[in-house]
A = this chain, B = another copy of it.
């Protein structure tokens, strides 16, 4: 078994041609996943990638592990069944913003509340890629797409707020272009026991190019994005000159000229109330200061996993009743003989 645990990124490649558009953000994600997984020392045969349908959902075909490219939106339900049946497997779910938040929305929220130990990689490109460019539930309001030639009128989901509302135990955000951070977040997802919901901003250069540019462009990224770390104060700005402070329950942007780092909001991954505020940095609601988009692990909580509880209940019942005997079951309590 040992040898199946020492493999390289290369060993995780399959013989299938990768069929994404040249320069698609999906390539970068695939690469980082293949790079970081060997470090976990999971026997390769114990790894399973489950996906739905979408460009992103082609992912399993490119991973030389077990995998299933299933149907649109249902990856979460399939992965849950698999994980409950085989708790020892390392189960990964790859999905898109349409796959998980549109058609798969119900399974998605139920996955999060149940909390099986599944690592969700949600490729959010804010568009339907595979069906050639309709708006998705994360597309911004007024977006002009094939199905909304006059602009969409649908208020978009805030995926991490939705996840938190569904009592997720782990929510994090990263970006295709941030190789290192992406690796770290994949690792954190793996380490977290319970459903890890990792939102990955992914550029669809064909139908929604540059959607996240200001979050990655050199001249804006440090002002528009903030990378949080547990125990560290919230600092950002092109020159690291800004910080975020909590005024009661209200976040405010302060200049580090005026405010000492000691008075800044210190990130606490385990604080649900703070996480609920952090996820809303997204919204730029009227009346809220303009806040940077948050990257990193926004929230993490220990909660027993679904498959643990299922397994434990089985063990308890067997402990109490003994292992079932088929003949007893067939016979039942009231039988007679002719």
A: residues with CB less than 8 A from B are 102-106, 109-110, 113-115, 137, 150-151, 153-158, 161-167, 246, 248-250, 272-274, 276-277, 280, 285, 303, 306, 309-310, 313, 316-317
CB nearest neighbor in B for A153? B309
Q: From residue A119, how far is it (CB to closest CB) to chain B in Å?
A: 18
CB-CB nearest 4 A-B residue pairs: A165-B165, A153-B309, A106-B106, A105-B106
Docked Cα-Cα span, A303 to B163, in Å, equals: 22
Q: Is the CB of A249 within 8 A of B272?
A: no
Q: Is the CB of A303 within 8 A of B155?
A: yes
User: Which of B156, B277, B303 lies in contact with A276, CB distance below 8 A?
Assistant: B277
Chain B residues whose C-beta falls within 8 Å of the C-beta of A156 in the assembled complex: 113
Q: Is the CB of A165 within 8 A of B154?
A: no
With A272-B285, A277-B249, A285-B272 already in contact, the answer to whether A162 and B157 are too (CB < 8 A) is no
Complex copy number for this chain: 2
User: Which of B110, B161, B274 lies in contact with A249, CB distance below 8 A?
Assistant: B274
Extra contacts besides A150-B316, A249-B277 (19): CB < 8 Å = A105-B110, A110-B137, A113-B137, A113-B154, A114-B154, A114-B155, A115-B155, A153-B310, A155-B167, A155-B303, A158-B165, A162-B165, A163-B165, A165-B166, A248-B249, A249-B249, A249-B273, A249-B274, A276-B280
Docked Cα-Cα span, A310 to B148, in Å, equals: 11
Q: From residue A140, how far is it (CB to closest CB) to chain B in Å?
A: 13
Chain B residues whose C-beta falls within 8 Å of the C-beta of A250 in the assembled complex: 273
Chain B residues whose C-beta falls within 8 Å of the C-beta of A310 in the assembled complex: 153
Docked Cα-Cα span, A117 to B277, in Å, equals: 27
Docked Cα-Cα span, A295 to B228, in Å, equals: 35
Q: Is the CB of A151 within 8 A of B114?
A: no
Q: From residue A167, how far is it (CB to closest CB) to chain B in Å?
A: 6
Docked Cα-Cα span, A102 to B77, in Å, equals: 13
CB nearest neighbor in B for A162? B165
Q: Is the CB of B153 within 8 A of A157?
A: no
Provide 29 A-B residue pairs closer than 8 Å at the C-beta atoms, listed in order of the A residue.
A102-B110, A104-B106, A105-B105, A105-B106, A105-B110, A109-B157, A115-B155, A153-B306, A153-B309, A153-B313, A154-B306, A155-B167, A155-B303, A157-B166, A158-B165, A161-B165, A161-B167, A162-B165, A164-B165, A249-B249, A249-B273, A249-B274, A249-B277, A250-B273, A272-B280, A272-B285, A273-B276, A273-B277, A276-B277
- Counting chain B CB atoms within 10 Å of each CB, which of A104, A162, A276 scores highest? A276
Chain B residues whose C-beta falls within 8 Å of the C-beta of A114 in the assembled complex: 154-155
Docked Cα-Cα span, A71 to B153, in Å, equals: 27
Q: Is the CB of A158 within 8 A of B167?
A: yes
Chain B residues whose C-beta falls within 8 Å of the C-beta of A155 in the assembled complex: 113-115, 167, 303
- Counting chain B CB atoms within 10 Å of each CB, which of A113, A165, A250, A285 scores highest? A165
Q: From residue A316, how far is it (CB to closest CB) to chain B in Å?
A: 7
